[in-house]
Amino acid sequence: MNHTIKNSMDSNAWLHGEKPASNVRQDTKYASRNTRCAGQVMIFVLMALLLLSVVIVWNFDLHNVVHLKMRAQNAADASALAAARWQGITLNLIGDLNIMQALSLSAGDAETARQIADTQARLCYAGPLVGLMAAQQAAKNNGIYANSSFTERLAAHAGAVLSDYGQVFAEPYEDCWQEYASTLRTIANSGIAAAPDNAALYTDYSGEHLLLDMNFYDAVAGREWCWFYWNAFTLLQTYADYQSWPPLPPQIQETRPDNSEVFSLGLATAEFIPGGLSTIPVMNQLRSERNLSQETISNFVAVVTSTWYIYEQSKWTDWSTMKDSSFPVYPEKNLKPQYDYLGADAVTRIEADAERLMPGATDKRIFCTAAAKPFGSLTGSESQVTPNYYSIVLPSFSDVRLIPVDAASGGNAGAYDLAWRDHIEFHLPSYMTNGLNGIDLSCWYCQQLAAWEDAAFRQKALDWLDESENPCVGESQRGTRRGH
């Protein structure tokens, strides 16, 4: 009876569009379970979107870094080539003027010869600085903006030239320091995008010292014990404290600087033509080839006192670095004779910040360096010879090439590696006087000095070299600081 009534009630409920009470409870349970599943799916979707966002941002950062690296290296290459091209142009102009001076002396015109020599002195500064301007334009044409740190440093140096150089250095020509400082300041005002990384300031250190070698700090930071074995093993064994270091070398004090500090041509002056009579025929040959005059240079010019611009022997030497077995160049020791000379070259540095979206990304700095060098040849008695074959500067440069940065010129001051320059200009002298009390621990190089001063650090190196049966013996010393 009750069963029949219940079924009848359920039937009436269905007829009126209502669910039975038992099914309502069952559907409520299913709805609750579906709600929980939907929440879990939402969490999973949010996590997937978050992960996808991270991948997209990371890919954007990676693309920006790679793109900026490519632009920076292209800019460095272009700026170095532009500067080196102007070095070659200037050397050719000075060489032409040497020939013109010889023609003036042949005609007995000593005053014109004097004015030519004065023009050559100005070119030794003006030519490289035009190269510096050309380097900036080349870098900016490749999408690199002016670097405020580089700009401020060059402007500050222009001020130092104007205020200090006249008291220390003799001027190579009248009003040299005024013109030099003014040109540097003008270039700085336009913004420095490509810094001259092999600039040799007249006040830089003039000699070698382990504390002026970046490789020393790299070896300390990397615990490269074999480097100490090959380069500073005695010091490692005997070092006591900062007073164990030999004095820093003196700073350069040239009485008559003949070359610009930036992209130096490496020239000097002489009273007589190098080679004497044997040089006159090649000067006459170049005079004819370049249509400088129909007149002939007289032989007596070889014994006339004048101001001739020549290659400074200490700078225009054979390119020994490229022939050294420790230098990673291929094919090894196969440098062609026509390229076997050091001298004028240009090294530029580009530093820029990459745009980063990834939270917490701190390493934004991109830096690139490049080096280039003008090349050419003269006709010798038997074949083509290097431009410095006759010692006197003659027009001979016709090409410019990129070269390995570590095979280029550059002093221990690091030029426009500003952190390194600050270290050796400000921190190092204080360290030599006061030890660790005189260093700035925010400086990476000073941090390596602090590690070196720890006796346990040095003992660890000695123990490793002793316990490992000296694995450095026979080890190749190939390699440089840069991967070129």
pLDDT at 1 over 50: no
Asked if residue 34 is part of any domain, the answer here is: no
**pLDDT at residue number 57:** 64
Tell me the pLDDT of the chain averaged across its residues: 85
Asked if residue 7 is part of any domain, the answer here is: no
**pLDDT at residue number 35:** 61
| Mean pLDDT calculated for residue range 10-37 | 55
pLDDT band for position 301 (cuts 50, 70, 90)? very high
Same domain, 302 and 183: yes
Same domain, 191 and 232: no
| Mean pLDDT calculated for residue range 296-302 | 92
Same domain, 112 and 144: yes
Same domain, 138 and 231: no
**pLDDT at residue number 326:** 67
pLDDT band for position 21 (cuts 50, 70, 90)? low
Asked if residue 18 is part of any domain, the answer here is: no
Same domain, 291 and 143: yes
Q: How many C-beta neighbours within 10 Å does residue 452 have? A: 20
Given 362, 383, 411, which residue is the final one in a domain? 411
Residues 6+ apart with CB under 8 A from 164: none
Domain that holds residue 449: 210-245+417-484
Same domain, 190 and 259: yes
| Mean pLDDT calculated for residue range 90-96 | 97
| Mean pLDDT calculated for residue range 142-150 | 92
Residues 6+ apart with CB under 8 A from 91: 127, 265, 344, 374, 387, 393, 395, 396, 397
Residue pair 85/138 in contact (Cβ under 8 Å)? The answer is no
**pLDDT at residue number 480:** 55
Find where tokens 């346990």 sit: 456
d(CA 484, CA 205): 27
Q: What is the pLDDT of residues 233-277, one digit of tens each?
A: 999 999 999 999 999 998 876 667 999 999 999 999 999 999 999
Which is nearest to 405 in space by CA: 481, 317, 315, 312? 481
**pLDDT at residue number 410:** 83
Same domain, 319 and 430: no
Asked if residue 6 is part of any domain, the answer here is: no
| Mean pLDDT calculated for residue range 332-358 | 80
pLDDT at 5 over 50: no
Residue pair 227/184 in contact (Cβ under 8 Å)? The answer is no
| Mean pLDDT calculated for residue range 403-423 | 88
Residue pair 242/436 in contact (Cβ under 8 Å)? The answer is yes
Residue pair 369/281 in contact (Cβ under 8 Å)? The answer is no
Given 361, 391, 411, which residue is the final one in a domain? 411
**pLDDT at residue number 37:** 65
pLDDT at 454 over 80: yes
Percent of the chain with pLDDT over 90: 58
pLDDT at 146 over 80: yes
Same domain, 178 and 283: yes
Asked if residue 38 is part of any domain, the answer here is: no
pLDDT at 184 over 50: yes
Asked if residue 24 is part of any domain, the answer here is: no
Same domain, 74 and 170: yes
| Mean pLDDT calculated for residue range 175-203 | 95
**pLDDT at residue number 34:** 60
pLDDT band for position 332 (cuts 50, 70, 90)? low
Asked if residue 21 is part of any domain, the answer here is: no
| Mean pLDDT calculated for residue range 55-60 | 66
Same domain, 266 and 386: yes
**pLDDT at residue number 14:** 44
Same domain, 322 and 458: no
pTM over 0.75: yes
pLDDT at 149 over 90: yes
**pLDDT at residue number 161:** 95
Quick one: how far is CA 97 from the chain centroid? 32
Asked if residue 158 is part of any domain, the answer here is: yes
Same domain, 381 and 473: no
Given 382, 411, 440, which residue is the final one in a domain? 411
Domain count, the chain: 2
d(CA 320, CA 327): 10
